[in-house]
Amino acid sequence: MTEIKVAIAGCCGRMGKALLRSILNNDKCKFIGGFEYSGSPHIGKPLKNPDTGEDLNLKVLGSAAEIFAKADVVIDFTVPEATLGHLELAKIHKTALIIGTTGLDNSQEDNLRIASSSIPIVYASNYSLGVNLLFYLTRKASEMLDEDFDIEISEMHHRYKVDAPSGTALSLGLEAAAGRKVELDEKRISGRDGFTGTRTKGDIGFAVLRGGNVAGEHTVSFIADDERIELTHKAGERVIFAKGAVKAALWITGKKACLYDMADVLGLPKGMPYQSSE
């Protein structure tokens, strides 16, 4: 089998290093390089195996275009503005994209959908197998439990995370809303503070914690009088996300232009978020 040529956007960050380790440890992949943002102090420095320190005979590039021209797949866990630029390069060079960037707004996500008409893209808020199973279980539980069960979603991440709630928490909210056949934007409650009044029946609440080096913890609570059901996933290290992203990179090779998610990659049951007919 021909090795898949894989590259990393933001190769020197915490997630970039985890991705590099997973790519090098997968004999179906060939790591062909990585790049950093313009002005990064890492540009021009040698890339090394995170486990052995061995020089990979590659240097950190400041030019994304050079990478897109020779990669089969680029894995991008960067920031929304950078990801939008990478989309344009991917379209030019017909390069598949694995996108784990969080914090994209509706307009930016529309750009992904437009680009996916010409290139294959996997876009997911979380690449862990366990979290994607949690998405499915959240939808099923919300289908079965009526509004006598209040839904609260809590998440905790490391102190360096810049967006809140996390993309994974918002995806869990979408699954919960879909199970109830409501729209999340109409039921979402975030950042309670001060005199908020009583809880409105049917709301979906979010709570956010930041601190330390927590890779990611998410809990969906279904709370009724005298009983509570909790679905929880705790990530130990970023390696679980990196492994999932590499799995997606191998899976997408040869796929037609389309916008996929991890349910497609893993073959999990899925449904589109509920949309009202009004």
CATH code for the domain of 141:
3.30.360.10
Give the number of other Cβ atoms within 10 Å of residue 27's Cβ: 8
* Domain identity same for 164 and 252: no
pLDDT at 278: 37
* Domain identity same for 226 and 262: no
pLDDT averaged over every residue in the chain: 93
Q: Is 155 exposed, middle or buried (0-12, 13-18, 19+ CB in 10 A)?
A: buried
Q: How do residues 153-182 score in pLDDT, each as one tens digit?
A: 999 999 999 999 999 999 999 999 999 999
136, 270 Cβ separation under 8 angstroms: yes
Domain that holds residue 248: 4-123+238-266
- Asked, for residue 48, whether it belongs to a domain, the answer is yes
**Looking at 161, 187, 255, 270, which residue is catalytic?**
161
Going by the DSSP 8-state scheme, the letter that residue 57 receives in this structure is E
104, 162 Cβ separation under 8 angstroms: no
For the chain, how many structural domains are there in total?
Answer: 2
Q: How far is residue 64's CA from residue 210's CA, in Å, rounded to a whole number? A: 31
Distances (CA, A) of 158 to 49, 70, 166, 171, 209: 25, 34, 11, 19, 9
* Domain identity same for 97 and 119: yes
Give the CA count within 13 Å in the CB-facing half-sphere of 64. 26
Q: How far is residue 240's CA from residue 127's CA, in Å, rounded to a whole number? A: 7
pLDDT value at 273 more than 80: no
- Asked, for residue 272, whether it belongs to a domain, the answer is no
Active site residue 218: no
Which DSSP string do the residues of 70-91 spell out, in sequence order? H-SEEEE-S-HHHHHHHHHHHH
> Residue 211: which pLDDT band, with cuts at 50, 70 and 90?
very high
Q: How far is residue 276's CA from residue 92's CA, in Å, rounded to a whole number? A: 36
What residue type is assigned to position 94 of the chain?
K
- Asked, for residue 150, whether it belongs to a domain, the answer is yes
> Residue 274: which pLDDT band, with cuts at 50, 70 and 90?
very low
* Domain identity same for 70 and 15: yes
- Asked, for residue 105, whether it belongs to a domain, the answer is yes
pLDDT value at 277 more than 50: no
Output Rg (C-alpha) for the chain, integer angstroms: 20
- Asked, for residue 271, whether it belongs to a domain, the answer is no
Q: How far is residue 141's CA from residue 179's CA, in Å, rounded to a whole number? A: 8
Active site residue 157: yes
What percent of the chain stands above pLDDT 70? 96
- Asked, for residue 244, whether it belongs to a domain, the answer is yes
Residues 6 or more apart from 154 whose CB is under 8 A from it?
169, 206, 207, 208, 209, 218, 219, 221
pLDDT at 270: 65
Q: Which helix (H) or strand (E) is 18 found in, with range?
A: helix 14-24
* Domain identity same for 231 and 248: no
* Domain identity same for 228 and 253: no
Q: Closest by alpha carbon to 265, among 80, 72, 98?
A: 98
Give the number of other Cβ atoms within 10 Å of residue 130's Cβ: 14
* Domain identity same for 69 and 160: no
**Looking at 86, 157, 218, 247, which residue is catalytic?**
157
pLDDT at 275: 42
pLDDT value at 247 more than 90: yes
Q: How do residues 184-198 score in pLDDT, each as one tens digit?
A: 999 999 989 999 999
Average pLDDT over residues 243-269: 93
Report pTM: 0.81
- Asked, for residue 81, whether it belongs to a domain, the answer is yes
Q: How far is residue 172's CA from residue 15's CA, in Å, rounded to a whole number? A: 22
